[in-house]
A and B are shown apart, each in its own frame.
Chain A
């Protein structure tokens, strides 16, 4: 077995070079190769932590904005509701008022019309009396040739009219 051939001087020089190479590798690895890896991993860990922190902050901000928007929306909806109610009430009141006005005006107009009718009737009545008196005077004159006294004729016509009118 070549590994146990201690007569071979290469077996000892092998160990010597092993120590030299391993020692050099240790120095190189510990002084040159590993620190950048450690720095890199550290750097990445802090970067990731910072990113996570920022993401958390942004999320909190977004949540706050969302809540604010929701509050705003609720308030706007309430405002709109109130406004609609107020407008509706005003319109209703106005309609009631208009209806009242209209009925009042109609009542007044009705009254006026009735009054006018009564006046016209009175005037017509008065005119009939005049015409009847004249007709009665003329008819009497024609029939008996004597023109009756105007007052007597009016009294007679008035009595007839009063009887007619009941």
Chain B
């Protein structure tokens, strides 16, 4: 996995390898993330203490954080989407955080994964909008009060912007995770390459090492932030679906 000899190999960390036939290392980490989330919520809430301990606090804080997000962004009608947004946020957050462990696989760095999640959100939002507003939903693509003459221009733009949600949602998460992990790998490779080049090299390796330390901290921030952004955007789209503008 690391730099073999003097070559830079920052992408092999994203390689899918089968654990059993058809079940890749990526899927294994999805399973671990799901198990960790379930464990946090089920074991954490086990004491059912009025004054919660650490794990119970964490479970409750996660709940209240996402609950507040859904309530603020979607409104009162958003309550029924709360379990979905919660699952989505926790799944992405744990995927990102698990990826920070050495030798772990970051499944959110796969565009196929993020695109599928974005597509799930997109389909859900569209179905919800159609279920609530029926055909009136299509007025979403032509803002009220806009001059009729501009309809041929506005409607395609609105449709494209609506469809591009899937792309922006998935590419944002995917690109952030890939970029972060590539950078970590590149600077880690620098450390190894320079470190093997004598005393001067060892001193020189301190710089990329320091950068990597800072990057790890930064990546933890990104891991949280991207999960949050994904959840917030999902909530905003749900708000649009429920209220149409």
Query: A-side interface residues toward B, CB under 8 Å?
Result: 1-4, 8-19, 21-22, 24-26, 28-30, 32-34, 36-38, 40-41, 43-44, 47
Contact of B63 with A41 in the complex, beta carbons under 8 Å: yes
The residue among A8, A12, A15, A38 with the most chain B CB atoms within 10 A of its own CB is A15
Contact A10 B22 (CB under 8 A): yes
For window 136-162 of B, CB contacts with A under 8 Å fall at: none
A3 touches B60 (CB 8 A): no
The answer to whether the Cβ of B42 comes within 8 Å of any Cβ in the partner chain is yes
- In the A-B complex, the 9 residue pairs with the smallest Cβ-Cβ separation, listed nearest first, are A30-B83, A33-B41, A17-B27, A10-B16, A13-B22, A25-B34, A2-B14, A37-B63, A10-B24
Contacts of A36 in B (CB 8 A): 45, 48
Supposing A26-B87, A29-B41 touch, asked if A34 and B16 sit within 8 A by C-beta, the answer is no
Do A18 and B11 have beta carbons less than 8 Å apart? Answer: no
Contacts of B90 in A (CB 8 A): 29
Contacts A14-B26, A14-B110, A15-B116 given: A25-B91 contact, CB under 8 Å?
yes
Kindly state whether residue B15 has any CB partner on chain A within 8 Å. yes
Report how many A-B pairs have Cβ atoms within 8 Å.
116
* Assembly CA distance A22 to B94 (angstroms): 12
Distance A41 CA – B109 CA, assembled complex (angstroms): 35
Binding site for A on B (CB under 8 A): 11-12, 14-18, 22-24, 26-27, 30-31, 34, 37-38, 41-42, 45, 48, 50, 59-60, 63-64, 82-84, 86-87, 90-91, 107, 109-113, 116-117, 120, 174, 178
Determine chain B's interface SS by DSSP, over half rule. Answer: helix
Q: A14-B24, A40-B45 are in contact. Are A34 and B30 (CB under 8 A)?
A: no
Classify the secondary structure of A's interface with B.
helix
Enumerate 15 A-B pairs (CB-CB under 8 Å) in ascending A order.
A2-B11, A2-B15, A3-B109, A9-B22, A10-B24, A13-B27, A22-B87, A26-B87, A29-B87, A33-B37, A37-B59, A38-B63, A40-B45, A40-B48, A41-B60
